[in-house]
Amino acid sequence: MFIKNSNKLLQKEISMIQRALGKTGISVSEIAFGGVEIGMPYGIGVDSDKNMISQSEAIKLLHAALENGISFYDTARLYGTSELIIGEAFKEKRNKVILSTKCRHIRNEDRRIPDYENLKNIIISSLQESLEFLQTDYVDVFMLHYGDEEILDNTDIGEIFTDLKTAGIIRASGVSVYTPGETKKAINAGCWDVIQLPFNLMDQRQSSLFSLAKEKGIGIVVRSVLLKGLLSDRGKILHPALKSVEEHLSKYNRLFSSSLNDLPTTATKFALSFKEVSSVLVGIDKMEYLHKSLHAADGTYFDEATLQTSKRLAYPEPDFLNLHDWDVKGWLK
C-alpha cells in the first residue's frame, strides 16, 4: 500500500476525506496533525529534546502530511517551538492548510480569572505572538487552551473571541475541554464554534454529547485518540500499578481482523466511525506514525456490530485514566 522513497506515501486513488467543521464553513481532513510532539517533549517515553526529531525533519514530515491530504494542523502558544516550525513549513503554502492554535492560559498566578481588560490583553497578545510565529495574518481556529467550568461561565471570554472573529483575525472560535460536564457547558454557551475533547477506546464518555454538538452546529475535534501512546506499542509492560490497564488493553485484540491488526489503526478508525466527529488529532513525530494515520483514514470504518463491540470495551473506571497523575507518581517511567 505504501510507496517507498517518496512523500507520496499512499496510492493516488486513496485520498484523505474532508469533513465539515460544524457550521464554520471550514472543511478539514479526517486526520489532524497534532503539533505538540514536534515542538516539545511529550508522551510516554519522551523525556527530553534528545527524544525529538530535528526542525528540518519536522518540516519534511509536515510537507509529507500536506502532500498526502492532511490539511488540518493543531498547535498552541505553549507547545514549545511547534508554531515556529509549522509557520516555517507552510509560509509559502498558507492557502492550502487549516491552522488551529490555542492561546496562553488565562488565569492569574493566584488562579483567578482576570477582569475584562486584562483578559483581552492576554488573549490578543497571545494571538499576536501566534500570528508572528505561524507567519500568517489570520488563524482558522483560535482556541482557549483549557476551558474549565468557571472559565466557560465567564461571558467576557466568549465576547472577546467573538470580537476577534468579527474582525476577521480568526475564522472560528474554539475551546479545549476535558470532562463531559465542560463539554456540555461549552456546547450550551452559544459562543464556541469548535470543541476539542478527549475521546478514545478506553474513555468513551464524551460520545454522549456528540449528537447535541451536531444539533448546535459545533465541530468536534477528538484528541487523545491514542491516549498519549497508551493505545499503541507503548502500552505494553506498564508499571505494576497499571496492571488492570495493561490487561484491559489486550481485550482490544478481539477487534482485529486480517486487514486490521494493530491497535493505533483500530483506535483511530474507532473515533472516525462517529459521523459527528469532524477530525481526529494524531500526534505525529515520525514518518511511521504518518503512514499509520494515512492508512487508518481510508474511508472504511467500523460497521454497526463492530462499533457496538467497541463501546462495550470501554475501560470500566475512566476516572482512573489520568496520565498526568500517573506521570507525577512515576508510573510512566
Interatomic CA distance for residues 170 and 97, integer angstroms: 14
Count of beta carbons in the 10 Å neighbourhood of residue 306: 18
Residue ranges of domains in the chain, CATH in brackets: 18-328 (3.20.20.100)
CA 316 centroid distance within chain: 24
Q: pLDDT per residue over 199-234, tens digit each?
A: 999 999 999 999 999 999 999 999 999 998 889 877
Query: Which pLDDT score, from 0 to 100, does residue 38 have?
Result: 94
Residue 125, helix vs strand vs coil: helix
Q: CB-based contacts of 171: which residues, under 8 Å, 6+ apart?
A: 24, 25, 26, 138, 139, 140, 141, 165
**Tens-place pLDDT, residues 21-48:** 999 999 999 999 999 999 987 766 666 6
How would residue 5 be classed by pLDDT, with cut points 50, 70 and 90? very low
Residue 2 pLDDT greater than 70, yes or no = no
Please report, rounded to a whole number, the percentage of residues in the chain having pLDDT higher than 70: 93
CA angle 169, 177, 119 (to 5 degrees): 45
Question: How many CA atoms are closer than 13 Å to the CA of 59, on its beta-carbon side?
Answer: 13
pTM for this entry? 0.93
Mean pLDDT to the nearest integer, 300-320 = 96
SS3 content of the chain, % helix, strand, coil (to 5): 45, 15, 40
Q: Please list, in sequence order, all residues whose beta carbon lies within 8 angstroms of the beta carbon of residue 217, skipping any fewer than 6 positions away.
A: 22, 23
Helix intervals (H) in the chain: 55-67, 82-90, 116-134, 149-152, 155-166, 180-189, 210-215, 243-249, 263-272, 287-296, 304-312, 323-328
| pLDDT at residue 299, rounded to an integer | 93
In this structure, of 172-181, 184-193, 209-218, 222-231, the range with the lowest mean pLDDT score is 222-231
Interval 260-297: pLDDT, tens: 889 999 999 999 999 999 999 999 999 998 999 999 99
Q: What is the pLDDT of residue 216?
A: 97
Q: Among residues 244, 260, 237, 246, which one has the least CA distance to residue 309?
A: 260
